[in-house]
Amino acid sequence: MSRSEISLVWRLFQADIQVNRKRILLTILAIGWGTLSIVLLLSFGEGLKRQMMSNDQAMGNNLAIMWPGETSKPYKGLPEGRPIRPKLEDIDYARERLRELSAIWGELTSWRTALTYGRKTVNGRVIGTRFDYGDARKHFPKARGRFLNPQDEEEKRRVVFLGDEMAKDIFGPEDPLGKSVLINNSPFTVIGVMQRKRQSSTYGGPDATHAVIPQATFKAVLGSDRLNVVVFRVKKADDMPAALTHFNEVLGPRLGFDPEDPRVWGLWDTVKGQKMQEKILVGLEIFFGVIGALTLIIGGVGVANIMYAVVKERTREIGVKMALGARRAWITGPFILEGLVYTLVGGLFGALIAILLVTGLSFLPIEGNDVLVPPDQALEVKDDLGDAIPKIDDGPWPAFPADLTSIALAVATQARGTVLIFEKMFENRLFFVDKLVTMGARIILCDPHRAVVNGPTRLYGERMESPDIRAGMAMLIASLCAEGTSTIGNIGQIDRGYERIDERLRALGASIERVEG
């Protein structure tokens, strides 16, 4: 087309848009709404994925976390059922032989240790470990502070690195750096405070509420060298399966267990968990994108329909122009230009609004939100369609979390109705229900994964032993609902997942007391 023809098409387009302003406005708004939807949904999906991955990796990445367990296979004449209790020297032995690892350490833990500054005493979790724990577990110090170093370990220095919340509990608004705090009545110098971080994955409790000291100092002051947990970090995520196998092959003969025994360690492979979570989050992002794309397609269909209506109502006008000798480009050009302009202006308008909204939302405060629990709520199980028994079953995020299955079972004993608890992800998670049955609960254990609970039932106090974190918490909840006094042993299991739970429950009015066994 020549310059004069392009000018003619532009003048014809300007004349057309002067006639149908309302229709043009509605068309642009439709395209803008579709663009706004897809940009907002994709932004939400990407933001959710980044934040969830960041929170999950705040504990560290490429980690294998292992809790000592019991053997389930005989080994060289030794019977099954023997507890495995690794010590510090065992980890040193493994470190010399597992050169492929980025880091390996053991953790000594004292769950309720008195930390005193002036007249303020806080009972908290104290961990004894190595200096390489800091980088691997993302314990980055605030300005002017530091984490443990090799000299602290070699010289058994009495130094402590505090989580940010613990530092605030002990020192309040004061700067803790360089100050002395008593740990188990022994003076320690605060060398660093952890930077604040959002953390969704933990073992033993949030990093913000613990204190870290050198493992040699822990052994000297608190008198224990039996490891509560063993952790190692691989250099690349793909190295994890081989590293786990080699780890068992190295320590199996030394500690007396079959390297292929699956019950020796309670294992948390964070590489596997993070890969699964990443796939779920990518799937959500795709889902949001598809919804936004469909909204945009609907807007496009609207534009097509409007352009069809425009051409149809101008059929006579087009015929007159062609009879007068108008060229094909003079007739089709304004329509094509009209569709392109509507789409471009609507898309830019929607994208601009979406960018402004996303940018504005980033400035909104996200701290300090409260959860309101109304009083006097009735616990009642609602039947499914057809009066079927409802089911609570766990699964990977965003499904119902496996860690809450045991707690849901305990709560169901006090709810009116019948519910099926289906534990699909872990073996033996429901093998504590006999304890609740002795308290008076009406529970039928169908198999290792399924239990039917009928409530409400009156529970009575019993003496019990906590087999693990989740079961122990379920027993604690049942005990709070029971008449009489209940005694729960092996509460170190509960402390691993619910730090200072007795103090928190007392703050809510519970009658609960921690006693020496």
Q: What is the pLDDT of residue 163?
A: 94
State which residues form the domain around 461.
Answer: 385-507
Q: Is the pLDDT of residue 133 over 90?
A: yes
- Taking alpha carbons only, the member of 4, 3, 9 closest to residue 328 is 9
Cis peptide upstream of residue 398 (ω within 30 degrees of 0) = yes
Residues 106 and 227 in one domain: yes
In a domain, 493, yes or no: yes
In the chain, how many domains are there?
3
Identify the pLDDT of residue 205: 83
The predicted pLDDT at position 8 comes to 57
Q: Is residue 95 situated within a structural domain?
A: no
Residue 192 inside a domain? The answer is yes
The verdict on residue 517 lying in a domain is no
Q: What residues contact 204, with CB distance under 8 A and at least 6 apart?
A: 107, 109, 125, 127, 210, 228, 229, 496, 497, 499
Percentage, residues of the chain above pLDDT 70: 87
Where among 205, 234, 263 does a domain terminate? 234
> With bands split at pLDDT 50, 70 and 90, how would you rate the model's confidence at 456?
very high
Average pLDDT value over all residues in the chain: 84
* pLDDT digit string, tens, across residues 461-488: 999 988 888 899 999 999 999 999 999 9
Query: Cβ contacts of residue 99 below 8 Å, gap of 6+?
Result: none
345 with 461, same domain: the answer is no
Query: 346 and 393 share a domain?
Result: no
Rounded CA separation 34/274 (Å): 33
Last-in-domain residue among 212, 234, 256: 234
Q: Tell me: do 143 and 18 sit in the same domain.
A: no
DSSP three-state, residue 443: strand
At 411, which helix (H) or strand (E)?
A: helix 405-412
pLDDT for 275 equals: 82
What is the rounded (10 degree) CA torsion for 270, 276, 282, 284?
A: -120
Asked if residue 215 lies in contact with residue 128, where contact means CB atoms within 8 angstroms, the answer is: yes
Higher-pLDDT residue of 176 and 30 is 176
Does residue 18 register a pLDDT over 70? no
Give the whole-angstrom CA distance, residue 402 versus residue 276: 15
Q: What is the CATH number of the domain that holds 405?
A: 3.65.10.10
**Together in a domain, 42 and 112:** no
Asked if residue 317 has pLDDT above 70, the reply is no
Indicate whether 332 and 418 sit together in one domain: no
Higher pLDDT, 244 or 309: 244
257 domain-assigned: no
Is a pLDDT exceeding 60 seen at residue 368?
no
Looking at the structure, tell me whether residues 124 and 168 fall in a common domain: yes
* pTM, 2 dp: 0.61
Confirm whether 392 is domain-assigned: yes
In a domain, 450, yes or no: yes
Count of CB atoms situated within 10 Å of the CB of 288:
20
Looking at the structure, do residues 405 and 441 belong to the same domain, yes or no? yes
Residue carrying the six token digits 């392109």 = 340
> Confidence band (pLDDT; 50, 70, 90) for 375?
confident
What are phi and psi for residue 456, nearest 5 degrees?
-85, 155
Higher pLDDT, 309 or 64: 64
Say which residue, 279 or 151, is predicted with more confidence: 151
- Does the pLDDT value for residue 320 go beyond 70? no
Would you report the helix, strand and coil content of the chain in percent, each value rounded to 5?
45, 20, 30
- The answer on 460 and 337 residing in a single domain is no
Question: Looking at the domain assignment, is residue 84 inside a domain?
Answer: no
Confidence check: pLDDT of 240 > 90: yes
Collapsed DSSP state (helix, strand, coil) of residue 229: strand
Residues 6+ apart with CB under 8 A from 81: 70, 71, 72
Q: Can you tell me the distance from the alpha carbon of 225 to that of 222, in angstroms, rounded to the nearest whole number? A: 9
CA-based end-to-end distance of the chain: 95
Last residue of a domain, one of 183, 213, 234: 234
* pLDDT at residue 202, rounded to an integer: 82
**The pLDDT value given to residue 13:** 58
The answer to whether residue 268 scores a pLDDT higher than 70 is yes
For residues 403 and 340, state if they share a domain. no
Determine the average pLDDT of the residues in 373-401. Answer: 81
